[in-house]
Homo-oligomer: A and B are copies of this chain.
């Protein structure tokens, strides 16, 4: 892949975890998961300047960390703490459209206090995965002059830490959440009006992830709808949104600019990486991809969305 810019570094702050996934394909235990695992893997196809800030327990296998290093990902910000790695158990409905949390064991994540190395403070793109908004704000106080800060969150934080979240949002460039979270945060069902309210909270752009309905971008200049690839094989939606975010930010690092046109293309790259992620369990769908395979799916999405502009 031709790297047009080697200057865009991407800092990913998030979780590295183990997941137990139950659903129509049976129970799969101890799968590698966590937002940072998906984000960094997806982004690493586009840029060799991805750094993870996260924490794992002393039970976390060294070979999993070695694998990240082999992918060119900087793991110097992954702290190893005494205790158990964050563990999440979820169960999907037969249609894979809804899921419930069966168990959450925070383990070492309970005391996670992200402390950035000097080198990481100069990151130009910062992606704050879904963690406590207090910690997200704490990271933002440590970075020096990022060109873009993107943030993910979830219903839990909207419910129990709304004030902290709102405070953090005021310092964020791009918020990436799903449609239900957008409705909840804005207290408004209509997505377009919800977007308007959220943009007044601080972010200059809002990306609403809608699963197999694609993703919507709202910003001062308008809106963009990125389609999702209709897939015949979906095994595990876990990490789809994170893979989307990783592809998006990874492409921005690769492209080296943040123009509206580049951001649209980056969302399609996000859709590409999300589509690969859900075809297999854990991060498997993001393993062993090539520039050619990524380009093929990008082209397929371009073909899926193409229509002639006509004049009546």
Contacts and interface: CB of A to CB of B under 8 A. Distances in A.
Interface stretch (A61-69, A102-110, A119-127, A208-216): A208-216
Interface in A197-234: 210, 212-214, 216, 218, 222-228, 230-234
Determine chain A's interface SS by DSSP, over half rule: mixed
Given A222-B303, A230-B192, A1 B308 contact: no
Interface residues of A, number: 53
Given A191-B212, A304-B223, A2 B309 contact: no
Nearest to A234: B190
A225 B304 contact: yes
Given A302-B309, A310-B298, A192 B227 contact: no
Interface stretch (A34-42, A131-139, A261-269, A280-288): A261-269
A213 B226 CA distance: 11
Contacts of A96: 189
A106 to B, nearest CB: 33
Contacts of A291: 312
Nearest to A24: B189
A307 B264 contact: yes
A94 interface: yes
Contacts of A210: 213
17 contacts: A46-B312, A191-B230, A192-B231, A192-B232, A195-B230, A210-B213, A213-B213, A214-B227, A222-B303, A224-B305, A224-B307, A261-B307, A264-B307, A264-B308, A265-B308, A295-B312, A305-B305
User: Lowest 3 CB-CB distances: which A-B pairs, in order?
Assistant: A213-B213, A264-B307, A225-B227
